[in-house]
Amino acid sequence: MTRQMKKILTILSLVLVFAIAVTSSLIAFLSGVRGIGILGISFFFTAAVVIVLAQLIPAGILLVLMVKSALFPVARVTVPARG
């Protein structure tokens, strides 16, 4: 992976975590949590969302592949790439 691609992925992952943290803080604030409690609640909400996403994305990929193999049992013919 190139250096530029790593930089882009790092920025995108930080933006995702920041967006989740801001949303978690907003939920905590609207729920009535004030002061330093917002930091604690948003930390746990953010960690929970990241953990759930880390489990759901691969599970979703596997589910799609399983459904695809059940609906289309015949393998597609592939042409080898010339190198």
> Which pTM value belongs to this model?
0.60
pLDDT at 34: 84
Q: Concatenate the DSSP letters of all residues of 7-60 into one string.
A: HHHHHHHHHHHHHHHHHHHHHHHHTT--TTHHHHHHHHHHHHHHHHHHHHHHHH
- Which one-letter DSSP state was computed for residue 82? P
Amino acid at 50: V
Map tokens 């930080």 to a residue: 14
| Mean pLDDT of the region 59-68 | 89
pLDDT (tens digit per residue) in 8-22: 989 998 998 889 888
pLDDT at 39: 81
